[in-house]
Structure 1
Amino acid sequence: MLFTAATAGLITHIPYVFAKKKYKLRILGTHVTLQEELRLKAMEDLGIELSFEAKGSAAVLQKASFNPSAFDLYEQWSDSINVLWESGSIQPIDKKRLKYWGEINSLTKTGKITPDAKIGAGDAPFKILHVQKDNTLGIEHTDKLSFLPYVHNVDSFGYNTKVIPQGIPYETESWGWLLDKKYSGKVAIVNAPTIGLFDLALAASAQGLIKFNNIGAMTKAELDKLFTILIDLKQQNHFSGFWTSVPESVRFMSTNRVVIESMFSPAVSALNGQNVPVTFAAPKEGYRGWHGVMCLSSQTQGSAKDIAYEYMNWWLSGWPGAFIARQGYYISNPNRSAQYLNKDEWDYWYQGKPAKENLKGTDGNISVRHGEIRTGGSYEKRFSNVAVWNSVMPTYDYSLQRWYEFISS
């Protein structure tokens, strides 16, 4: 072969032809945030490869706590933090590497979105956000975090207003409806011991069937009394099912299997987009609050760790927060996302004002009709009325045992 100037130039540029293979960031979580639109947009914006593994909340927590090498980033809810931290599955996040930390609001930093807000029982996120000097999690602010605060919301239940008369937010809507005999056989609960348990505890308390000293830290005796009530109801076929994912909860309601159930906001949006008249209740007893957590696997190092920080920062960069707002979720630095929402969207989703036009959800279907008001009102009002947070109680192991006894009874 003759080495001409042309071939020499070709050899010089060979390394550019064979580009270095990208690292694929592996993210383990639930269907709530591991959505295909978000994956594609993040890859486009960041020039990285992403793989999403979405499972039900109990399944992802089990996998993450036993196998940290199976993921780089974990996305779920704050009730998973104590389990993951104590198992050694996650490592501290360096606050200084979070580009938008200064924009994150007071909810996760102090526990209150407004000075008069209720903090709520259980694992309020600010209690478990900061890594303390002794490597425990606590409220003193440090430069190390157990999770990135990002997506969050208050949850309650959804009900079909074709069957159940429309209630009044904070006045007549009640967790007790989940245990009302009028709806026996048409009730579903989320199958998650650190979530569904609180839905049912709030319901039993609202019905006057049990009184808790601290609903965020139930005793064994209180759990025994609660599950005696629940198992009796289950054996009477009060519950139609226990769902493990948002799509499954949508199917339960859309097929008329249930008329009332534990529900997450995207399911309500999806059902409304299908013209199923579901209302997301604002219970007079207060909401069950949850906060999304993004965590670094203890095994994530090197370039994978650098890419993980890029992805975490991307989530707070504006567009993702606006995307999830259209299915009813909030972001920890909402002002940055406001520029990606039109005024009507911002007014409806964050300010609690009537929709001045039909609003579309993330699936492109109309999920909010002109004139509708978001149940529960504004962001601040909703998060001022948290009764309890998704929590891992001191009696977690025992509650887990009793929960599965209940499910299989």
Structure 2
Amino acid sequence: MTTKSNTVNKQRRQFLKAAAIGSASASLPFSSFAIGKEKPKLRILGTHVTLQEELRKKAIDDLGIDLVFEPKGSAAVLQKGSMSPDSFDLYEQWSNSINVLWRSGSIKPIDKRRISYWDEINSLTKTGKVTPRAKIGAGDAPYKLLHIQKDGSLSNNDTNSISYLPYVHNVDSFGYNTSVIEKGVPYQTESWGWLLDEKYRGKVAIVNAPTIGLFDLALAAQAQGLITFGNIGSMTVQELDKLFQILIGLKQKGHFSGFWTSVPESVRFMKSNRVSIQSMFSPAVSALNGQNVPVTFAAPKEGYRGWHGVMCMSSKITKRSEDVAYEYMNWWLSGWAGAFIARQGYYISNPSRSKQFLSSNEYDYWYGGKAALEDLRGTDGKVSVKKGDIRTGGSYEKRFENVAVWNTVMPTYEYSLEKWYEFLSS
């Protein structure tokens, strides 16, 4: 892109930012906050996926609040969130955490009438499908957990009370180093089964999260023909016993190199050549490509494991913090944040608003599945997409038409936890 076009884009973004903040300021509960007084504070518990320093700084600048981020690994976040609602104001993780948080009483209803951009949120969380031909996917499809009913249950029946704010989402699979493993063909030869292929023994890592890594391994075992599930989104005790018998046997033979708990750790695993193939999240792939490590994010022929980010409100939040929390939630959907996370491969629930903060080339690559017309930079400023590259798996619609299973808390969740930790310690 030329210097002139960079300048134009910068001016356009500054204008849009000013317009967005200006138009919203009339409704902000603290928009006329007196200088010299203590800023409103918001404590956010979540993972490294969204609790990033650049996002924190931008939100502080735009909203005039104090933000405290507490990022942890997936399992630790869910444990603290379900047991200590007084330790956070907002919780950011994935939809598979909703059932646990709701049943524990750790979160309270969100009034969707206070979400400024609710009407812009697309059909994925409202109907379960981003296109009419899309597969719903097994397990906890997020739309099933969104609306709070009069009896306190969660379902897809529309109400004004929601259990979470739909925002960041993506489909996950595994990443592999193409300097070691020959590059496959998306949706044709790339397979979850590769994670359990004997030829990669000792060079495989899995995400250490029982509601995520479990499904990576279940999809892999099924792809290898080692087991068949009646419903992979709701495995029985007998199916779990058989699956973990297989996995423990592989672990004792040295098949797995490790189990990572955060995106930075997964980057270190691959960069150090500890692994050649592993469970991965999109920001890690983007970061590694920016460091010239040739990692491909697979589009498995069996379908993706889908996830949907959730922003939940603590049941112990104070009235003052609650007002600030709504402004922060609205900020996330106001455009800039969605464009930021697009550059690391994530989607936002109202992409039309973020489109204006992305160049046409960026939007066409990340959302449209088109070839990059120039090198594109990630959130770290490094080139993560080379000119001519096409995003693995194609467009936003194509990727979300192919969800095999969602991150899920199954009816056998407690038993699966026992088996997971037995597996890790075997």
Question: Shorter-normalised TM-score: what interval?
Answer: over 0.9
Whole-Å Cα distance in 2 between the matches of residues 273 and 59 of structure 1?
29
Output aligned runs, 1:7-406, within 5 Å: 19-406=36-423
The 3-state SS of whatever aligns with 2:357 is coil
Task: Give percent identity, aligned residues only.
Answer: 76
Q: Give the counterpart letter for 2:174 in structure 1.
A: F
Deviations 1:2-61 (A, max 9, x none): xxxxxxxxxxxxxx9982212210000000000000000000000000000000010010
Q: Give the counterpart letter for 2:290 in structure 1.
A: G
The 3-state SS of whatever aligns with 1:152 is strand
Relative to structure 1, is the Cα distance of residues 48 and 181 closer, same or farther in structure 2, using a 3 angstrom cutoff? same
The 3-state SS of whatever aligns with 1:331 is coil
Runs of 4+ in 1 over 3 A off after TM superposition: none
Whole-Å Cα distance in 1 between the matches of residues 238 and 390 of structure 2?
41
Deviations 1:299-336 (A, max 9, x none): 11211000000000000000000000000000000000
The 3-state SS of whatever aligns with 1:391 is coil
Whole-Å Cα distance in 2 between the matches of residues 152 and 110 of structure 1?
15
Q: Give the counterpart letter for 2:414 in structure 1.
A: D
Whole-Å Cα distance in 1 between the matches of residues 40 and 289 of structure 2?
39
Q: Give the counterpart letter for 1:197 in structure 2.
A: L
| TM-score, with structure 2 as normaliser | 0.92
Relative to structure 1, is the Cα distance of residues 62 and 17 closer, same or farther in structure 2, using a 3 angstrom cutoff? closer
C-alpha deviation, 1:290, in angstroms: 0.1
Whole-Å Cα distance in 2 between the matches of residues 91 and 275 of structure 1?
44
Relative to structure 1, is the Cα distance of residues 169 and 304 closer, same or farther in structure 2, using a 3 angstrom cutoff? same
Q: Give the counterpart letter for 2:87 in structure 1.
A: A
Q: Give the counterpart letter for 1:280 in structure 2.
A: F
Deviations 1:183-210 (A, max 9, x none): 0000000000000000000000000000
| TM-score, with structure 1 as normaliser | 0.96
C-alpha deviation, 1:244, in angstroms: 0.1
Deviations 1:160-196 (A, max 9, x none): 0001000000000000000000000000000000000
5+ long unaligned stretches in structure 1? 1-15
Q: How many pairs does the alignment contain? A: 394
Whole-Å Cα distance in 2 between the matches of residues 309 and 300 of structure 1?
12
Whole-Å Cα distance in 2 between the matches of residues 114 and 217 of structure 1?
25
C-alpha deviation, 1:139, in angstroms: 1.2
The 3-state SS of whatever aligns with 2:419 is helix
Whole-Å Cα distance in 1 between the matches of residues 34 and 161 of structure 2?
41
C-alpha deviation, 1:401, in angstroms: 0.4
Looking at CA atoms only, which structure, 1 or 2, has the larger radius of gyration?
1
